[in-house]
Structures are given as C-alpha cells and as structure tokens.
Amino acid sequence: ETVALAAEQGLEQEFLENEGKLEIFRRIQKLQSPMKDVMLLRVIGELSFQEIGDILGKSENWARVTFYRGKQVIGRGLKENG
C-alpha cells in the first residue's frame, strides 16, 4: 500500500507541475463543495483519502472517487482552454 500511495502522490504532484499550479488552483476555487473541499485537503493539506473521508464524514473510497472526478473536471477545463 505504501508503494501505491507513493505512486499516487507522485502522479498528483506531476499533475500539478504539468498543468500550472495557479491555473489549477483557480479551477479548484470554481468547484462546488464537497469536491472543492476534497481537492484542497488533498493538494494543499496533503491528507490521505482516509483522513479526508474522516473529516468530511464519508468513506475513504468516496474521497478517492471525488478527488479523481475533480481531477477530470479540472483536466477537461484545461484542455478546452489550452
């Protein structure tokens, strides 16, 4: 699980670096809660999905899926405007 977590965090960091941090944070600000909350807790707070789920009263899987969907929304917006 530690290797998987490290790989996942590496992908998230690469996502941020490749897409331009300012633009990504602008797009996160436009998201609706709870997706916005999950994205910020993960990217800025660097919390695990379990921790995010606990904070928001949801499951680890819910946090993971919500984060993944948020990345898709942001990625689509960047491609459309890029």
Both tokens of 2, joined, read 């530690």
Place of tokens 């609706």: 32
pLDDT in tens, 26-82: 889 999 999 999 999 998 898 999 999 999 999 999 999 999 999 889 888 766 665
Residues 6+ apart with CB under 8 A from 9: 46
Give me the amino acid identity at 79.
Answer: K
Residues 6+ apart with CB under 8 A from 48: 5, 60
Give the Cα separation of 46 and 52 in Å (integer): 10
Q: What is the pTM of this model?
A: 0.73
